[in-house]
């Protein structure tokens, strides 16, 4: 059973890596090449997949956590499940109402949905990092990345506040999206190190 759960963590980490890179690519396509439908469809699909992978990743960390660390990881798992349900229901609504097609250049709905998901997840990783008990150099780097992940939560909150002060169709839109792209690459590294962690634990 432990072997099965470890493999779940490995494969979910690889899928999270793929979905984060797909999300970054979709955002860049929508910015530079105006692939509106392709770019937006990729953003929504990869975000839902990323949420699902995040839940399975955190569950795998829970399976490896010690008894004293499990409450904090359970808290992170609850946040991850809420994030996935929020993203899935919200994005499904956008697709069913065809909002994504009616105004494909406008990013704010995608961004706001992302913000409300990424902010709590950013802080949830702190509790996962606290559960890592290892002297492995790669795991130490993973732990530090989890600790510093909360910075994105603060940045996303500030950027969400800035939407009330800047016009929506301006250069600041692309700046906000570039922050998401940077987060995607950061999370890709985190997913890759998580895969390595599950391989050796």
**Average of pLDDT values for 134-161?**
80
More confident residue, 23 or 111: 23
pLDDT beyond 90 at 2 = no
Q: Which residues of 15-41 are buried (b: 16+ CB within 10 A; e: fewer)?
A: bbbbbbbbbbbbbbbbbeeebeeebbb
pLDDT band per the 50, 70, 90 thresholds, residue 105 = very low
Of 1-5, 41-45, 93-97, which one has max mean pLDDT?
A: 41-45
Task: Outline where 29-149 has alpha helix (H).
Answer: 36-64, 70-96, 99-102, 108-130, 137-148
Whether the CB-CB separation of 60 and 4 falls below 8 Å is answered with no
Whether the CB-CB separation of 139 and 132 falls below 8 Å is answered with yes
Q: What is the pLDDT of residue 168?
A: 52
**Average of pLDDT values for 109-115?**
59
Q: In the predicted model, what is the mean pLDDT of the chain?
A: 76
Residue identified by tokens 């899928």 is: 15
| Alpha carbon 65 to its chain's center | 21
pLDDT beyond 50 at 72 = yes
Whether the CB-CB separation of 47 and 23 falls below 8 Å is answered with yes
How many other C-beta atoms lie within 10 A of the C-beta of residue 105? 11
pLDDT beyond 70 at 104 = no
pLDDT beyond 70 at 96 = no
- Whole-number Å distance between alpha carbons of 41 and 106: 13
- Is the dihedral angle over the CA atoms 144, 150, 154, 159 positive or is it negative? positive
Enclosing domain of residue 64:
2-199
Q: What is the pLDDT of residue 113?
A: 60
Q: What is the pLDDT of residue 18?
A: 92
- How many domains in the chain? 1
Whether the CB-CB separation of 88 and 96 falls below 8 Å is answered with no
**Average of pLDDT values for 68-74?**
84
Please name which of 49, 112, 128 lies closest in space to residue 84, comparing C-alpha atoms.
49
Neighbouring C-alpha atoms within 13 Å toward the C-beta of 100: 22
Note the pLDDT tens digit of each residue in 171-189: 556 677 788 888 889 989 9
Q: What is the pLDDT of residue 100?
A: 46
């Amino acid at each position: 059973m432990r072997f099965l759960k470890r493999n779940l963590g490995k494969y979910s980490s690889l899928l999270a890596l793929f979905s984060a890179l797909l999300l970054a690519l979709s955002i860049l396509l929508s910015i530079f090449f105006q692939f509106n439908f392709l770019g937006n469809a990729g953003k929504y699909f990869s975000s839902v997949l990323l949420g699902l992978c995040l839940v399975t990743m955190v569950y795998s960390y829970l399976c490896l956590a010690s008894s004293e660390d499990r409450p904090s990881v359970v808290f992170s798992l609850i946040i991850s499940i809420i994030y996935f349900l929020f993203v899935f229901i919200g994005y499904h609504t956008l697709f069913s109402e065809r909002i994504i097609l009616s105004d494909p250049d406008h990013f704010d709905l995608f961004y706001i949905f992302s913000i409300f998901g990424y902010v709590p997840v950013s802080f949830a990783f702190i509790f996962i990092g606290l559960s890592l008990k290892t002297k492995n150099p790669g795991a130490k780097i993973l732990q530090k990345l989890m600790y510093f992940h909360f910075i994105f939560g603060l940045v996303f909150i500030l950027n969400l506040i800035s939407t009330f002060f800047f016009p929506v169709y301006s250069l600041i839109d692309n700046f906000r999206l570039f922050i998401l792209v940077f987060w995607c690459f950061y999370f890709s590294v985190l997913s890759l190190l998580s895969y390595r962690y599950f391989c050796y634990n």
